[in-house]
Structure 1
Amino acid sequence: MADLDLKALSPLFYWAGIFIAFFSSFLILGKVKKRTADFVLAVWFLIIGAHLTFFVLFLSEGYMKFSYLIGFEIPFPFMHGPMLYLYILCITGRSPGKKIWLLNCVPVFIIYIMLLQFLLMSPHERVMVYQNKGKGYEMLSQMIKFLMIFSGIFYVGLSLLAIKNYKKKISDQYSNTEKININWSYYLIIGIALIWIAVIIRNDVLIFSLVVLFIVVAAYFGISRVGILDLPVTAEVPDSKRTDRDEETIKYQKNSPGDDVIHSIYEKLISKMEDEKLYKDPDLNLNYVAKLLEVHPNILSQVINSIENKNFYDYINRQRIEEFKRIVILQENQKFTILSLAFESGFNSKTSFNRNFKKYVNCSPSEFMKNQSVHIE
């Protein structure tokens, strides 16, 4: 009886997943302000919904009723890796060009070409192959399984690399990164990774059960999370449309500024920091400072990296720590709290302040004040 109930419940569970996939897609497309990432996620949900539909239709020998569809479901697993990667690129501020889109569609087209002979067979002949567990197509079946596993591992790795590169870029661009939280994107990657592990184990029920759970998680984060900050994307610009700024970027990329120029810009940076205390602005970013110094952001980034051996994030937060150390020992500031003085120094969260303080001072703020005989809370 329990087995019967489980068998009856499974299709309902999968149909619920199909409904959530299609409904989530329509919800995302119904958003007033849609970004490229929204369209990618909506299309991905449609693909997942279609994939689950194939699975449910073929469940419990249902392929006999839908024999004309046999084979068309095989390339679907090759779509999820590229969709994950393209979505990660979009939410991390990169807009994939036509070449990237086409390149990531190639694996799916290759699989369809490999299956062409099988797909051109009559539905009855495909059923016979299906019932005989791929007899006559053993080599093709093994090759597709290998490529499927490789695709999963490859795109999970590629997605993790994209997030790693994005985190590096935001550290080069922003002085506070707490509001730019992309940790939730790891849930999507972990979810896909678990599904691919189930693929390796070759347990269809486990695979598609994980897919349903993945849909729920992806739908929640995809709909509820606001967009991530965009970063400047370097792209090829036709010669006829290049601006002075584009020419400056190209010049920078080909010819690094000399030591004299680097030290001159650095002196201007130090002067600005000392005179105007720019680091006290919690929203300070590289582009703004570069504009004040009248230099290209890439050049300013190189100046900081070459002299301070730090990225923009570390450089500014070190300044903030020094400012906090300076003002916390002043007698007139004893009436303020640690957190208020941290905010006064340019930090925008207690977590960021504590993390950076321990990083640069090698002790907690309370330990530092105890050593300085400062008594504030």
Structure 2
Amino acid sequence: MVSMVDFDLGILYWAGVFIAFFSSFLIFGKQKKKMQDFLLAIWFLIIGIHLVFFVLFRSDGYLQYSYLIGYELLLPFMHGPMLYLYILSVTGVNPDKKAWLFNWLPVLLICLILSPFLILSPQDRIVVYQNNGKGYEVLSNMLKVLMNFSGVLYVSLSLLAVKKYKQKITDQFSNTEKINLNWSYYLITGIAVIWIAVIIKNDILIFSMVVLFILVAAYFGISRVGILNLSHDTERADKKGAGNELVKYYNNSPGGDMMQAIYEKLIKQMTQEKLYKDPDLNLNYVAKLLDVHPNILSKTINSMENKNFYDYINRQRVEEFKRIASLPENQKYTILSLAFESGFNSKTSFNRNFKKYMNCSPREFLKSQNLNLE
């Protein structure tokens, strides 16, 4: 007899199946789809199929669909690769055929490992299933270890991909507030929590969390603001041309004399034009002004200033704020208005960078200078 709790959970799981499939079809129906859209849609389909297997097998459905027994063991190994490939895509590294093959190779290996069980007749598989894998204990334990390893590996790889992306954006942009990485962190955290439940070995907890995950992931995955794709920006900059030095120096590390010359040109531009006052300033734009390749300019700043582009520009914005805040004619303005005048695009960014370079808040600094700005 089916209990009320089982009945309620059944509705929950079937709702998760519907959301997964419906979200996948919505994404496939989007216009101007990107690689990340295809990956998310495919992943939602896999999650939906996984939930269907669970709903069928938690009751006596495996008796009716005995020919499916064993194939559900492949599905957990698909989520890690899909997470990682999706994170790569939204951070500007569109996976190629080699990446697909390399990350799906473990799934193929699991197929080979499972083959002795999958070649059994459906009736024999039912017997093994009903006896909790008796006779296949070694195979079962091996799959559990590999499943847990897969979860830890792909969560770690995904976090590493986001970390690398954060480094790229600080090498290219002077303001990063509009580049929202929260979606990636939410996704990785959700999968990590589910994998913890897998390690705990509680199926009800696992698949209840999967339904919650698919609900949240579907909402944010379809409606979220896209993460900036650095590769597209770089391609546009390269097509516009970075001068003759692109051809001459692209594959070579710039020498000391060349770096010094570029650095002097950079200082001149910053001093005369105050480029840092542009809140949307980026490396490609500055490189074009100086007629150098962005990679060479980045190396120059790293070498001469021991800073990335983000830190270099925001340090100058802090110095500009200190300068204009001390002018008598500016005492009528607010702290935030002068911060915006210096090139910052938000109060949060201003306060964070000011404290980073000055080891005190803007108000503490102004007070030490006997300046009374609101």
TM-score class, shorter-chain normalisation, is over 0.9
Structural RMSD (CA): 2.2
Change in CA separation of 1:292 and 1:250 when aligned onto 2, cut-off 3 Å? closer
Q: What secondary structure is seen at the aligned counterpart in 2 of 1:73?
A: helix
Does structure 1 residue 321 correspond to structure 2 residue 353?
Answer: no
Displacement of 1:61: 2.7
Q: Distance in 2 between matches of 1:166 and 1:206?
A: 33
Quote the residue 1:239 is aligned against.
none
Q: 1:258 aligns with which of 235, 255, 273?
A: 255
Question: 2:59 aligns to what SS in structure 1?
Answer: helix
1:278 is matched by which residue type in structure 2? Answer: L
1:198 deviates by 1.1
2:290 maps to amino acid: L
In structure 2, the partner of 1:196 is 195
Q: Report the Cα distance in structure 2 between the residues aligned to 1:54 and 1:70, rounded to whole angstroms.
A: 9
1:34 aligns to what? 33
User: How far off its partner does 1:68 sit?
Assistant: 1.1
Once structures 1 and 2 are overlaid, which stretch shifts more, 216-225 or 247-256? 247-256
Q: Residue 310 of structure 1: which of 307, 311, 329 is its match?
A: 307
Q: Distance in 2 between matches of 1:234 and 1:243?
A: 11
Q: State the 1:121 CA deviation.
A: 1.6
Flag structure 2 segments of 5+ consecutive residues without an equivalent: none
Structure 1 residue 117 corresponds to structure 2 residue 116? yes
* Contact 2:173–2:309 under 8 Å retained in 1: yes
CA positional deviation for 1:220: 1.6
- Does the CA contact (< 8 Å) of 1:252 and 1:298 recur in 2? no
Match of residue 77 from structure 1: 76
SS of the aligned residue for 1:115 comes to: helix
**How many matched pairs?**
370
Matched, 1:375 2:362: no
Instruction: Find the aligned partners of 2:245 and 2:131 in 1 and give their Cα distance.
Output: 65
Q: Which amino acid aligns with 1:319?
A: Q
Query: What does the per-residue CA deviation read over 1:56-97, in whole Å, with 9 as the maximum and x for residues that have no partner?
Result: 011123211111110111110000000000111111111111
2:230 match: secondary structure? coil
One-letter amino acid of the counterpart of residue 208, structure 1: F
Instruction: Give the secondary-structure state (helix, strand or coil) at the position aligned to 1:265.
Output: helix
In the aligned structure 2, how far is the partner of 1:375 from the partner of 1:144? 67
Asked whether the 8 Å contact 1:78–1:108 carries over to 2, the reply is yes
AA aligned to 1:277 is K
Equivalent residue for 2:340?
Answer: 343
Q: How does 1:106-255 map to 2 (within 5 A)?
A: 106-232=105-231, 252=249, 254-255=251-252
The counterpart of 1:334, out of the listed 331, 334, 341, is 331
Shift of 1:30: 2.0
Alpha-carbon separation, structure 2, partners of 1:282 and 1:50 = 46
Could you tell me whether the CA contact under 8 Å between 2:242 and 2:287 is conserved in 1? no
Q: In 1, are the aligned partners of 2:117 and 2:125 still within 8 Å (CA)?
A: yes
What's the TM-score once normalised by structure 2's chain length?
A: 0.94
Q: Which amino acid aligns with 1:333?
A: N
Question: What TM-score, normalized by structure 1, do the two folds share?
Answer: 0.94
Runs of 4+ in 1 over 4 A off after TM superposition: 242-254
Counterpart contact for 2:243–2:292, Cα < 8 Å: no
Q: Percent identity?
A: 69
Distance in 1 of aligned mates of 2:244 and 2:321: 41
Letter in 2 for 1:160: L
In the TM superposition, residue 226 of structure 1 has moved relative to its aligned partner by: 2.2
The answer (yes or no) to whether the contact 1:265–1:300 under 8 Å persists in 2 is: yes
**Aligned-partner Cα distance in 2 for 1:252–1:301:** 13
